[in-house]
């Protein structure tokens, strides 16, 4: 082959190769921007979705975390729950009129329920004495009662007016801080009526059934939405016992509260409970809502664990108006409630004395308990 021909052929081939390069380059250049554009658009679309979802989540969270919504949900969780509960309460009551030197009363209650068993430890502080004790109600209807500070009570002016003999005072003092058992059948026998025995099981079953009735919870929630009697006056975060809580100063619309109470009272579940806890012929009377305020200068503050939607503490105070003071005998009341962790399960007292055995020790004839003579004796003592 002629070298010149080869060179010439190579030149042709090289030129053809060079001629093709711009075309390929143009194709490559034209594809890159499209691919890059798609990536940008795709990334932007995903970003919009993520941002929109984030904003939606934040808005939803903020809506649920509004103080009024947190408060409403927390109140519902407090009132309608299957969990064991315990409350420590302190009430300071100022009487409208001084009685036997007493103008103020302090009442402390430690209330706990465990299943269908409940116990209340109480302490009453008067200006002249202190009285402590406990009442326990078992799931079968049996009742246990004990009182402390009996010697001080029996030596006070309260007992002196009753004319209790010294010998009986000595016997009563021996019962200080001891459980007295009152069985369900004892109540029927001593009262002369088996109404308590007949209605207790039915009543408690109906009452505790509300805790598992989801439709009842929804109805109560709906009634509250229509009558929001708790208004948020102010809210802030506050650390209590090392825990950050939502503190809400609540304003009360008493008329809305009364309408709410009436609407809840008109629910079929409530009527069923009322009927179960009374005799079969009992009916729930219709009540009218009065546009009056029973308390003046009322104040209510609630502390809530926002995350758990649980009320941890409540403080309330109010003064009765002048028209109500004489009727209810109260001038003002201050209430503090702490929701605390329940103690161990409520155990039935093992060291107790039965009420009928106790009556026998004091020489009380059971047959006279329902007689008209006993009623006459009690009335003469009270008067």
Q: Distance between the two ends of the chain, CA-based, in angstroms?
A: 148
Contacting residues for 288 by C-beta, under 8 A, at least 6 apart: none
Mean pLDDT, range 137-146, rounded to an integer? 92
pLDDT of residue 292: 46
Given a cut of 90, whether residue 287 has pLDDT beyond it is: no
- pLDDT-based confidence at residue 216 (cuts at 50, 70, 90): confident
- pLDDT-based confidence at residue 116 (cuts at 50, 70, 90): confident
pLDDT per position as a tens digit, 295-343 = 566 788 999 999 899 999 999 888 877 666 666 677 888 999 999 988 8
Contacting residues for 188 by C-beta, under 8 A, at least 6 apart: 194, 195, 196, 197
- pLDDT-based confidence at residue 286 (cuts at 50, 70, 90): low
pLDDT of residue 246: 93
Given a cut of 60, whether residue 248 has pLDDT beyond it is: yes
pLDDT per position as a tens digit, 119-138 = 999 999 987 788 999 999 99
pLDDT of residue 337: 93
Proportion of the chain above pLDDT 90, given as a percent:
21
Position with higher pLDDT, 3 vs 132: 132
pLDDT of residue 39: 61
User: Do the bridges between strand 179-182 and strand 352-354 make them parallel or antiparallel, or are there none, so unpaired?
Assistant: parallel
Mean pLDDT, range 199-208, rounded to an integer? 81
Indicate the SS3 state at residue 376. helix
For residues 267 and 247, is the Cβ–Cβ distance under 8 A? no
pLDDT per position as a tens digit, 350-382 = 889 999 988 888 877 766 555 444 444 444 433
Proportion of the chain above pLDDT 70, given as a percent:
70
- pLDDT-based confidence at residue 38 (cuts at 50, 70, 90): low
Instruction: Give the lowest-confidence range in 16-30, 222-236, 315-329.
Output: 16-30
pLDDT per position as a tens digit, 159-203 = 676 677 888 888 889 999 999 999 988 888 887 777 777 788 888
Given a cut of 90, whether residue 80 has pLDDT beyond it is: no
Indicate the SS3 state at residue 47. helix
- pLDDT-based confidence at residue 244 (cuts at 50, 70, 90): very high
pLDDT of residue 29: 45
Residue 130 CA to residue 127 CA, distance in Å, equals 8
Count each helix (H run) and each strand (E run) in the chain, helices first. Answer: 13, 12
- pLDDT-based confidence at residue 247 (cuts at 50, 70, 90): very high
Position with higher pLDDT, 274 vs 283: 274
Q: Which has the closest alpha carbon to 217: 229, 228, 209, 206? A: 209
For residues 290 and 306, is the Cβ–Cβ distance under 8 A? no
pLDDT of residue 198: 76
Residue 107 CA to residue 89 CA, distance in Å, equals 8
């Amino acid at each position: 082959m002629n070298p010149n021909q080869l060179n010439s052929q190579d030149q042709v081939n090289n030129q053809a190769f060079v001629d093709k390069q711009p075309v390929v380059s143009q194709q490559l250049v034209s594809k890159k921007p499209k691919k890059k554009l798609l990536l940008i658009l795709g990334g932007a679309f995903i970003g919009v979705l993520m941002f929109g979802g984030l904003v939606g989540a934040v808005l939803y969270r903020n809506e649920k975390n509004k103080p009024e919504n947190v408060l409403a949900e927390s109140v519902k969780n407090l009132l309608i729950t299957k969990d064991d509960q315990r409350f420590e309460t302190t009430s300071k009551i100022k009487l409208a009129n001084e009685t036997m030197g007493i103008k103020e009363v302090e009442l402390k209650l430690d209330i706990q329920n465990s299943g269908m068993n409940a116990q209340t430890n109480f302490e009453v502080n008067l200006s002249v004495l202190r009285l402590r004790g406990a009442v326990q109600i078992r799931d079968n209807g049996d009742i246990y009662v004990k009182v402390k500070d009996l010697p001080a009570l029996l030596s006070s002016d309260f007992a002196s007016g009753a004319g209790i003999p010294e010998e009986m005072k000595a016997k009563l003092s021996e019962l200080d801080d001891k459980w007295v058992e009152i069985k369900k059948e004892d109540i029927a026998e001593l009262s002369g009526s088996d109404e308590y025995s007949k209605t207790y099981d039915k009543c408690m079953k109906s009452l505790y059934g509300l805790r598992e009735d989801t439709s009842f919870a929804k109805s109560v929630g709906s009634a509250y939405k229509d009558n929001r009697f708790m208004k948020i006056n102010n809210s802030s975060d506050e650390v209590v016992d090392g825990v950050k809580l939502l503190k809400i100063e609540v304003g009360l619309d008493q008329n809305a509260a009364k309408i709410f109470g009436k609407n809840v009272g008109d629910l079929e579940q409530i009527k069923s409970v009322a009927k179960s806890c009374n005799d079969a012929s009992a009916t729930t009377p219709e009540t009218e809502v009065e546009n009056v305020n029973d308390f003046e200068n009322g104040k209510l503050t609630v502390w809530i664990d926002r995350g758990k939607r649980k009320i941890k503490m409540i403080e309330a105070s109010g003064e009765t108006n002048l028209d109500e003071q004489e009727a209810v005998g109260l001038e003002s009341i201050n209430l503090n409630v702490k929701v605390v962790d329940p103690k161990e399960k409520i155990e039935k007292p093992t060291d107790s004395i039965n009420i009928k055995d106790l009556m026998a020790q004091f020489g009380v004839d059971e047959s006279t308990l329902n007689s008209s003579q006993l009623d006459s004796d009690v009335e003469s003592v009270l008067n």
